[in-house]
């Protein structure tokens, strides 16, 4: 474990991955909470499904464009 902590490049990469993952999860939970609270999920499920597909594609494109 000390080798990972002392390697600055690996430490920066792992920190960036954890921050990106945390923000992605937080954004997904916040969006779902807002959709449920506003009633959007009940009145327009197709719009929510389409939004989910767009967000998933955006996440895939965003993570594939990140440099290691």
User: In the predicted model, is pLDDT for residue 1 greater than 60?
Assistant: no
Q: What is the mean pLDDT of residues 14-28?
A: 88
Residue pair 49/41 in contact (Cβ under 8 Å)? The answer is no
CA 57, 13, 52 angle in degrees (round to 5)?
15
pLDDT-derived band at 26 (thresholds 50, 70, 90) equals very high
User: In the predicted model, is pLDDT for residue 2 greater than 80?
Assistant: no
* Average per-residue pLDDT for the chain: 83
| pTM, to two decimals | 0.60
Where does the chain show beta strands of DSSP type E? none
């Amino acid at each position: 474990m000390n080798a990972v902590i002392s390697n600055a490049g690996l430490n920066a990469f792992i920190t960036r991955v954890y921050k990106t993952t945390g923000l992605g999860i937080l954004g997904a939970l916040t969006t779902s909470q807002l959709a449920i609270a506003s009633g959007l999920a009940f009145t327009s499920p197709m719009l929510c499904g389409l939004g989910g597909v767009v967000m998933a594609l955006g996440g895939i494109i965003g993570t594939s464009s990140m440099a290691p």
